[in-house]
Amino acid sequence: MKSDVVIVGGGVNGCALAYRLAKKGLKVILVERRFLTSGATGACGAGIRQQWSTKENTKLAIDSVKHFEKFSRELGMDIDFRQGGYLIINHDEKEVEQSKKNIKMQRSLGLDVRFIDRDEINDIVPILDVEGMHAIGATFCPTDGHANPFKTTFALAKAARRYGANIMTHTTLTDIVVENHRVKKVKTTNGSIETDAVVNAAGAWSKKIAEMVGIDIPNTPFRKEIMVTERLKLMFEAMVISFKDGIYFSQQKEGHILGGLPIPEEREGYNFMPTFMFLTHMAKTLTRYVPSLKYINMVRHWTGFYDVTPDARPILGESEEVKGFIHCHGFSGHGFMLSPKVSEVLAEYIADDKKDEILDSLSLKRFKTGKFTREKSVVG
């Protein structure tokens, strides 16, 4: 087999990039070890947020939302995108100070976001117990929202196939052949593929893929747990999130309340099993935020992985050591919401030789030079 580009990983980022490259007329093969959305995409909380502390993430997210708004029409499949906003709860003066700094930066980039007082919180999400949450204010961006990660990924894969991309599921990458510091070939359980470019979009397994070409990336896998309740009448539209308590939850279109929070005992590594500790912790925090939920049934609980980098921001762009090896990982829990813009930037780099400046600030090199800013607006 021969291909212009081989993408490793059938999550939302791999499929989005396959779609964009195939649309530009490139020959694309995507290899996925299991099935599409089997990694972090299929376990994610479905949120789409533009409120960040660093410019790069805010920019990527604002542009991604513009794509999400068009995706259902563009891809010919409904991805259930809806904009109910994100309500970020603030609990103390220090958080408020940081929020005001963030808002100033976010507004300078054109984002509609504002600080809201404690009394206004219930106007946005009526079921919240402001007292129980110990809230003193919040920030709110009405154009933040949700989409269905399965439908988005399937829609992207379907559109990619329409443009001729070959998406091979149940196919494991076993080796990458490099000659003269250039990618030459990849080997898979379903045959070898000659190629000039390999994109590492393997999420929590990116470290292992990078090792195949002798590159060490500073990513660590972290288990994250999420639960979902039975269906309820629609009561609120915004995602509620607190960086201090680590909790986030929202009501899905179908009526389920879906949310997660990190357990304090969590350690890095490939731990797949859900924990009872999470359930206790989650139930306690969630019912403190919304006491009436104590009568509601929790129906399902699962785990997924964050692929975490030292500054909680993705690593993007071509490697300097191995030409043709392209980084697209380290999303640190935010891969779904950033994927529309990230795939556009990388597709332009690969197909049109156009280098967006964001690729400089989010290159792997930043960890060597030490020139990076940590993203503060993260859960866990």
Partner 1 sequence: MKTVIVCRCEDITEKEIVDAIHAGYTDFEELRKNLRIGMGPCQGRVCIPLVKKILQRETGRKVEENPTVRPPVVPIPLGMLTKGWENEE
Residues that bind partner 1 (CB under 8 A): 34-38, 42, 150-151, 154, 158, 169-170, 229-231, 254, 274, 276, 279-280, 282-284, 286-287, 293-302
Q: Which is nearer to partner 1, 109 or 283 (CB)?
A: 283
| Closest to 338 in 3D by CA, of 166, 201, 245, 222 | 201
Contact between residue 336 and residue 152 where contact means Cβ atoms under 8 Å apart: yes
Residues with Cβ < 8 Å from 254, sequence gap 6 or more? 231
Residue with tokens 């009561």: 235
Q: Which is nearer to partner 1, 243 or 278 (CB)?
A: 278
Looking at residue 268, what DSSP letter applies? B
Contact between residue 201 and residue 191 where contact means Cβ atoms under 8 Å apart: no
The tokens describing 353, both together, are 């030789």
CA atoms within 13 A on the CB side of 65: 23
Q: Which is nearer to partner 1, 169 or 172 (CB)?
A: 169
Q: Cβ of residue 232: shortest distance to partner 1, in angstroms?
A: 12
Q: Which is nearer to partner 1, 32 or 311 (CB)?
A: 32
- Cβ neighbourhood burial of 127 (10 Å; 0-12, 13-18, 19+): middle
Pairing status of strand 220-231 against strand 191-200: unpaired
Cα separation of 244 and 129, whole Å?
Answer: 16
Decide: helix, strand or coil at residue 126. Answer: coil
Q: Which is nearer to partner 1, 290 or 378 (CB)?
A: 290
Contact between residue 13 and residue 152 where contact means Cβ atoms under 8 Å apart: no
State the maximum Cα–Cα separation within the chain, in Å, rounded to a whole number: 64
Q: Which is nearer to partner 1, 108 or 280 (CB)?
A: 280
Q: Cβ of residue 2: shortest distance to partner 1, in angstroms?
A: 24
Q: Which is nearer to partner 1, 157 or 193 (CB)?
A: 157
Q: Cβ of residue 216: shortest distance to partner 1, in angstroms?
A: 32
Q: Cβ of residue 42: shortest distance to partner 1, in angstroms?
A: 6
Contact between residue 36 and residue 169 where contact means Cβ atoms under 8 Å apart: yes
For the chain, what's the residue count?
380
Q: Cβ of residue 269: shortest distance to partner 1, in angstroms?
A: 20
Phi-psi region of 66 (alpha: psi -120 to 50; beta: other; left: phi over 0): alpha
Q: Cβ of residue 50: shortest distance to partner 1, in angstroms?
A: 26
Q: Cβ of residue 254: shortest distance to partner 1, in angstroms?
A: 8
Q: Cβ of residue 7: shortest distance to partner 1, in angstroms?
A: 18
Phi, psi of 177 (to 5 degrees): -95, 125
Q: Which is nearer to partner 1, 61 or 128 (CB)?
A: 128
Q: Cβ of residue 240: shortest distance to partner 1, in angstroms?
A: 15
Q: Which is nearer to partner 1, 37 or 51 (CB)?
A: 37
Cα separation of 58 and 110, whole Å?
Answer: 10
